[in-house]
Amino acid sequence: MIVGKRKPFEEIKEMLKKYKKILNVGCGTCISVCLTGGEKEVKILNAELEMARKLEENPIELGASCVERQCDREFLAELDPIVEDYEAILSMACGVGIQFLAERFPEKPVLPAVDTSGLAVNQDVGWYEERCRSCSSCVLAWTGGICPVTLCAKGLYNGPCGGTDKGSCEIDKDQPCAWYMIYERLAGQKRLDCITNIQAPNEWEDQVPRTLLHHGYKKRNHSDKN
């Protein structure tokens, strides 16, 4: 799923300082599951903002909403009737959701309350680890199911480098070396031949905005917003 971290409170407060009436919109999918921007977090942030602005004698009126997914047009439609009442919108979704919200209401300032940190696994409650950089050319078949693009700090295709230290990455003792793990897993599966050949330079597909259009589908016109 996509995970993110709420921006520091002071930064959010600064962004909102000239507005008196704000709609805070959460997202009920990934960002809610990672305990950052769901219904509950919207309420908490609103309470904090309300209190802080009251103390500053600059009260703010805050609306709260949480749509199922901010990256989906049909769920954003719910906001159409209420957005007009607000000066600006604060989004607690990931970067994708924030942008789609801004696209739907181009006349309103849409502000981010979250810093998106990546595509991650749910290791435990409140603990998420990045696993994919969505590079568009997956190499997991020959790296034992471990992504060197994401987990090697240098993104090496032919690792490990000389900085591996007792299985740790040179950047941090607590960060496992991706290539050490790849070696161990492939050795265990007797598949070291997967990494004896030199992997050619990647042809980076992520240097332009990517669009996915499945075979048999068309780009439809959404001028009616639905």
Please give the residue ranges that form the binding site for another protein (CB under 8 A): 153-167, 170-171, 177, 180, 183-184, 192, 196-201, 204
Q: Work out how close the CB of 98 gets to another protein at its nearest, in angstroms, rounded to a whole number.
A: 23
Q: Reduced to 3 states, what is the DSSP secondary structure of residue 219?
A: coil
CA 105/CA 84 separation, integer angstroms: 9
Q: Work out how close the CB of 92 gets to another protein at its nearest, in angstroms, rounded to a whole number.
A: 26
> Given the complex with another protein, which of 201 and 216 has the nearer CB atom?
201
Residue 78's nearest CA partner among 26, 119, 29, 117 is 26
> Given the complex with another protein, which of 46 and 199 has the nearer CB atom?
199
Q: Work out how close the CB of 2 gets to another protein at its nearest, in angstroms, rounded to a whole number.
A: 22
Handedness of CA 189, 194, 195, 197 (dihedral sign): positive
Own/partner contacts of 126-132, CB < 8 Å, gap of 24 or more, are: 126/35, 128/3, 128/34, 130/3
Q: Work out how close the CB of 117 gets to another protein at its nearest, in angstroms, rounded to a whole number.
A: 15
> Given the complex with another protein, which of 26 and 160 has the nearer CB atom?
160
CA 189/CA 183 separation, integer angstroms: 10
> Given the complex with another protein, which of 77 and 171 has the nearer CB atom?
171
